[in-house]
Amino acid sequence: MKTLSSDPVTADTNNPNTAYAAAGEPGRRLPRLRLFRFHSIRTRGMVAGTGLVLLVVIVAIAAYSLSLRAYYYSAARSSLQAKAETASSFFSGYINRTYAEYFQSAVSYAENFEDKDSLELQFVDPQGRIEIASSGISAGTISGSDDIRSALSTGRISFWHGENAATGEQILAVSAPLSSADGTNIGVMRYITSLKLVNRAVSRSVLVATLLGLALLALVFTSNVSFLRTITGPIASLTAMARRIAEGSYGTHVDKQHDDEIGDLTDAINDMSQKLSKAERVQTEFISSVSHELRTPLTAITGWSETLSYDPAIQGDSRKGVEIITREAGRLSKMVEELLEFTRIQDGRFTLHVSTVDLPGLVEDCLYTYSELFRQQGMVIAYLPPEQDIPEIPGDPERLSQVILNILDNACKYGKSGKRIDVNLAADDSHVKVSIRDYGPGIPPAELPDVKKKFFKGSSKERGSGIGLAVCDEIVARHNGTLDIRNASGGGVCVTVTLPRS
């Protein structure tokens, strides 16, 4: 066939369309569920369950650590206090003469101090200077600790907890005042112990408590994950089935996993799916029955109107009326055929007779078929043949012609205001593409996702059944191809049919 226009139009070889959704519908894939969203049930459940337990464990370990530390420190303090009270009372009984006698007694007592491996014993004069020490290291220095000043000023046993400036370790000191027989305050007996062993015992106990808390947290985490899986798993299955039902896969069924509220929801959705399937089947049977019933009278109307159009006695308005009857009967016949195609798809009687197809020749034949219609509508066809020979591809020639003719008919019907249609063929190593573009008003963006759905007619005032594109999409999908419909840059609609070469 000749090129209907020499105006070159660049073919759109981009195909953003992909195969979508679901089981039971060839060529469709279900959108993947997002099970790990921040606001999902799984996330909220883990935060509410494990997060609360984690907070309780942290608070419990902190409280246990503080209480255990206070207990050990209190026990060490009580032990030192008892030792200081006993030793100071015993030692004061020998001090009844001079300061020299006191000093000699203190030196002897420090030299014979039995607990010098774990305690340091110091004798401090009334001015706060350490006179005698069991370790001998600090003798002659002034400590200046609060416990010494307090014991000297109040005459009562005093305590001090802090850090040893020389070693950096934590120590506990207790100071007991020493008085002569006449009540004179002659100094302080002071015991000092390192808290290293105490801190080690506290750390060991806290570590054990922490490990137990982590074990509890792991147990709660595992339990939460297991419990949430029994909720999110069935919900994910129900969501997937709801999406399939929304896409038209009525009659699908989800197994009931638990006899609880989710199980009741599963039963309700399964029941809804079965009822929708039954309603769809009744609708399909009704459409099929009505379509078959319409074919016979439409055939008669078309036959008689064509016969009357050849009668020379019918002239003027009567002839125009006969032409209108013929045209409208043809339109109704086409609608009936589309409805029958739809019912064949619905009940599984839709089949392909695959052979080999010369796609460029098929497209040119379709253009020739509609050439008179284009001429009557005053539309120009710009056909850009492929730059290289395209080998024959596997397919059903009759069904593919139906697709191309339907797209051309829509381009003529909805894009007639643009007065032009571009038809391009292109091929690559794996696919062949046919692009048909009109220059009409285009499709409202909000309606684009629905144009291939059955019975969708959109806001256009043009008459039609609303199932032509749904049938075309099914035919192309059964050829393992894609049907892409989008608004073209500069106005109009571009429809691209992509078919595999093998």
Element (H, E) at 420: strand 420-427
Domain that holds residue 460: 1-28+352-502
Task: List the structure tokens of 364.
Answer: 């040119």
Banded pLDDT at 304 (limits 50, 70, 90): confident
Element (H, E) at 246: helix 196-246
Task: List the structure tokens of 161.
Answer: 């907890």
Tens digit of each residue's pLDDT (9 = 90 or more) over 326-345: 878 877 887 777 777 777 77
Whether residue 317 lies inside any domain: the answer is: yes
Domain end position, chosen among 317, 350, 383 = 350
Whether residue 133 lies inside any domain: the answer is: no
Tens digit of each residue's pLDDT (9 = 90 or more) over 24-56: 333 333 344 444 455 677 777 777 778 888 888
Helix (H, G, I), strand (E, B) or coil at 494: strand
Whether residue 209 lies inside any domain: the answer is: no
The span from the first CA to the last CA of the chain, in angstroms, equals 25
Distance CA 169, CA 137 (A): 16
Question: Alpha-carbon Rg of the chain, whole angstroms?
Answer: 49
Tens digit of each residue's pLDDT (9 = 90 or more) over 361-411: 999 999 988 888 888 888 899 988 887 888 889 999 988 998 999 899 888
pLDDT confidence of residue 1: 36
Task: List the structure tokens of 238.
Answer: 């129900």
The helix-helix angle for 99-111 and 52-92 (nearest 10°) equals 130
Distance CA 499, CA 479 (A): 7
pLDDT confidence of residue 437: 93
Tell how strand 431-438 and strand 493-500 pair up. Answer: antiparallel
Distance CA 350, CA 175 (A): 103
Domain identity same for 344 and 369 = no
Banded pLDDT at 436 (limits 50, 70, 90): very high
Number of domains within the chain: 2
Domain end position, chosen among 350, 371, 389 = 350
31 DSSP 8-state letter: P
pLDDT at 80 over 50: yes
Domain identity same for 406 and 345 = no
Average pLDDT for residues 483-488, to the nearest whole number?
92
